[in-house]
Structure 1
Amino acid sequence: MDSSQIGSALAGGPPATAAAKGPAVSSDFETFLRMLATQLQNQDPLNPVESSDYAVQLATFSSVEQQVLTNELLRGLAARQTVTGMGGMAGWIGLEARSAAPVRFDGATPVELAPNPLVAADKAVLLVRAPGGATLAEIPIPVSAEPYFWDGRDAEGKRLPPGRYGFALENYQNGELLATDPLETYARVTEARNENGEIMVVLDGETLIPSAEVTALRDPGTPLQ
């Protein structure tokens, strides 16, 4: 077995096995030494392998071994971080989370909204939207940060059917639209999940959002602040 074959074995064989078995790669060092001994015994006497080649092979093996161990350590740290995060999320279950995600309207209970109009605004209009984004109603509301309770009706007083709705707020000054901002509301947290390494929360009505989009938590029934 010449030096190129040893290098090929190091590049293609042990790392794959180590990646599958984790820290057990350390035990392969003895195998590597046996491979070197075999190479010495079978080398061409007229064209012996240079000692520098052995040093390169040893350094290559050591580097691969260290990289595998480092990768295992990083995977372990990531797994522990996810478990820790999920453990903290357990305390969210049953609380109400504030976000700009669509919320469920049951057909009767008013939805409590948290408007935050611009300081320069002299008129505010509530936009009620379907989950796909289509605007279903435009309702003038007070220019105030006080909670607003949407009773499920559009601007003409017609009650919309039960379902999930999103909300936005148009800010006007002297009849000119300044900005349209998402409008937050509260919904009860029913579940926490790990989706591809990201912690997600499920809100009442099966709305799934990243936990990072939650801006506040409260006990059910607590008025908006």
Structure 2
Amino acid sequence: MVLRSLNLLTVLLSIAALPHISQSLHFELHSGRTKCLSEDIKSNSMTVGNYTVVNPNEPHPSPQSHKISIRVTSSYGNTYHHAEEVQSGQFAFTAVEAGDYMACYTAVDHKPEVTLSIDFDWRTGVQSKSWSTVAKKSQVEVMEFDVKRLIETVNSIHEEMFYLREREEEMQNLNRATNSKMAWLSFLSLFVCLGVAAMQFLHLRTFFEKKKVI
């Protein structure tokens, strides 16, 4: 049992030691159109986002047609961020509700139609913390920074495991409830079929008796 725990800890530390994976996205949006992106966030988890409309006329100012509106909402419809006709911005909040969070971008309606390029960086959990602003130059402080980062990553993985276990239990309860309902529906269907067959038998028997066939 101890050996198994040590192996699990080794795997978690190996995952934590992997290079940071960027969640930056780049997508295109046409004038007057809306595009939504979703992220599954657990409760009490920190999340930050940065978005920018790429300026096609660098180094000149960005044209007025290159503006967007953004709204970030939870699966329950609560709004956590809202901005109208902006070229860039950011948001940060701690998720109160667990579930899918939606970031919807709407491009300003413009004629003739233009295509906007948008850079979007959305990070949650331990990845949302700007550890790079905390790191120092000395070797001791760098090691301390790495240890803190590993601890935060392991804690995040631990919390994620519990979160996935809760979701798995919810799915198992749903499957059991569905199977129970399907079983009752099958028995009801069988009872109806037997009832209809009995009625047809009695009807045919009465019919043949009247015709004096039997």
TM-score computed with the length of structure 1 as normaliser: 0.28
- Rg (Cα) greater in structure: 1
Higher normalized helix content (fraction of residues) = 2
Q: Under a length normalisation based on structure 2, what TM-score does the superposition of the two structures give? A: 0.29
